[in-house]
Amino acid sequence: MVIGEEIRLVEVEDISQRGLRVRAPFMQVNQEVTIQLDGLDRRKAIVRWAQAGTAGLNFIRPLGFEQLAQWTVEQQARSRSNDELAGPPPFDFVRGWQVQVIS
């Protein structure tokens, strides 16, 4: 996640076509940030709510259904690959992924 000149890693709790929920106690409502998830293009988002260390972000340009579906399949395959090589990953295929916030 990029905020101003600062890059921060946050944990993704949920993702949809329109946005995501992240663990980020430093986020402020109406803040504009840039998000970078592995396998997806950078995407601008606005913080719509922040409470108890969690924030809800809306993408300015939503993800397409096919794009999100393909990304989800890739993340599930990556998780399965991790399971086979090194035991279970420390998080499920969406919750726990880190994202860069870049603004």
Model confidence over 57-102: pLDDT tens digits?
Answer: 999 999 999 999 998 888 888 777 655 555 544 444 444 455 555 5
* CATH class of domain segment(s) 2-101: mainly beta
Q: Give the start-end residues of each E strand in the chain.
A: 2-3, 6-15, 19-23, 32-36, 43-51, 54-59, 98-101
Task: Name residue, tokens 């860069």.
Answer: 100
What is the model's pTM? 0.74
For the segment 34-46, what is each residue's pLDDT rounded down to a tens digit? 888 888 888 999 9
Higher pLDDT, 4 or 16: 16
